Amino acid sequence: MKFSLLMFGGALCVDAAVLGSRASYAVKGKPEGFATGVTGGGKAACQVPSSVAQLTTWLTDNVARCIVIDKEYNFKGTQGKAVENGCRPTSNACPGKGGQDAINLNNWCQPKFAGAGVKTIQVSYDKAGLYGINMGSNKSLIGVGNKGVIRGRGLRIAKAKNIIIQNIHFTEINPQYIWGGDAIATDAGSDLLWVDHCKFSLIGRQMFVAGTGAAGRITLSNNEFDGQTSWSATCDNRHYYAIYLDGSADKVTMKNNYIHHTSGRSPKVGQNTFLHAVNNYWYSNSGHAFDNLAGGKVVAEGNYFQSVATPLLENKGAFFGSPSTSANTACKTGLGHNCQMNTFVSSGKLGGTDTAFISTVKGQPIASVSAASTNIKNLAGVGRI
């Protein structure tokens, strides 16, 4: 940013136009759903970090901050490269033609995880991507227009609370490798997280993952989860590891997100997570959208599924898929409104008729619902706020 500096009687003055532009940097809107009440950096003055190093310092310290991203911050190469043994899992049936190999993180490259046909191979990856930046509490991280990009590294939120991440594009985190790194990950001790109008693309592992410790209250809204990739675990240019919600005591709202060109985990839900998935748009999913494990509790309403092969892979927990106008009246006990029907075009069916669990969120902040729409794709992601 350029400053116009004037000297009056020995005092250094900043041009009023510059002050006005800085003053305009602020979080826009408020979250709906479970993260209602999050304030992030609050009234802290918004500042633009001068470098990757300063951005890292501001993200990790214990100071309430409003951090403005008005350009690309590239973490690739900041921690060097690793060359070591990894593996080619059984899932990679298209080596050299767009498959995804794996880093041997947590000794994953063994048959019980990587499949009976796993082969040891050498992998070379960027070390910065493997572990996210550990954020401190009370932060607002906001992008300017469509210029705010964090490349090569993600964020980790554990033992940190009251965080807003808005209008940022996270990209290129070792996309060629399973276990290449997550874009945003939460864990035990976190609470009140709002991720809004962000874009996720070319991520090696999860675009968003919550768990396995309690991550508290989360709202994911107006985000674009772009699964288009040249390295696909399912060998079809679609990303498999999109969204995984597996916290031990989490309540998650997903509203107005555009989730496209994925092949699985969009999202996968488990352990003890309550998910309200409302008014999202899934497009071109060659595998499954929802996968509900034991302990997962999901209400899905007002969503639009277009060209989604399997909207729900399995339900080992509790799942309500808003199957009919008569059945949808059950939502009122917990959500305060009758659920809205989902829409399916060139897609499988959702199913899910469990209702007893819905009342467990009675009295908590719940996102509103409207009719399912494809217009979500025109409103979600960076630069559209």
Looking up residue 225, the CATH number of its domain turns out to be: 2.160.20.10
pLDDT of residue 358: 98
Distance CA 364, CA 347 (A): 33
pLDDT of residue 96: 80
5 pLDDT above the threshold of 90: no
Q: Would you say residue 343 lies in a domain?
A: yes
Q: What is the pLDDT of residues 260-312, one digit of tens each?
A: 999 999 999 999 999 999 999 999 999 999 999 999 999 999 999 999 999 99
Nearest to 295 by CA among 312, 277, 317, 276: 317
Q: Would you say residue 43 lies in a domain?
A: no
7 pLDDT above the threshold of 70: no
Whether a cis peptide bond, with omega within 30° of 0, leads into 49 is no
Domain that residue 201 falls in: 131-378
Provide the b/e sequence for 7-24 (b: ≥16 CB within 10 Å): eeeeeeeeeeeeeeebee
Structural domain tally of the chain? 1
Q: Would you say residue 108 lies in a domain?
A: no
pLDDT of residue 97: 84
202 pLDDT above the threshold of 60: yes
| Percent above pLDDT 90 for the chain | 92
pLDDT-based confidence at residue 332 (cuts at 50, 70, 90): very high
pLDDT of residue 95: 83
pLDDT of residue 195: 98
Distance CA 289, CA 283 (A): 10
Q: Would you say residue 369 lies in a domain?
A: yes
Q: Would you say residue 121 lies in a domain?
A: no
Distance CA 207, CA 224 (A): 10
Distance CA 73, CA 76 (A): 9
Task: Output phi, psi for 272, to 5 deg.
Answer: -150, 60
70 pLDDT above the threshold of 60: yes
Q: Would you say residue 244 lies in a domain?
A: yes
Q: Would you say residue 366 lies in a domain?
A: yes
More confident residue, 261 or 3: 261
Catalytic residues: 265
167 pLDDT above the threshold of 90: yes
Task: Report helix, strand or coil for 360.
Answer: helix
Element (DSSP H or E) covering residue 268: strand 268-269
Confidence (pTM)? 0.94
Could you identify the residue written with the tokens 């595998």? Answer: 287
Q: What is the mean pLDDT of residues 150-169?
A: 98
Q: Would you say residue 367 lies in a domain?
A: yes
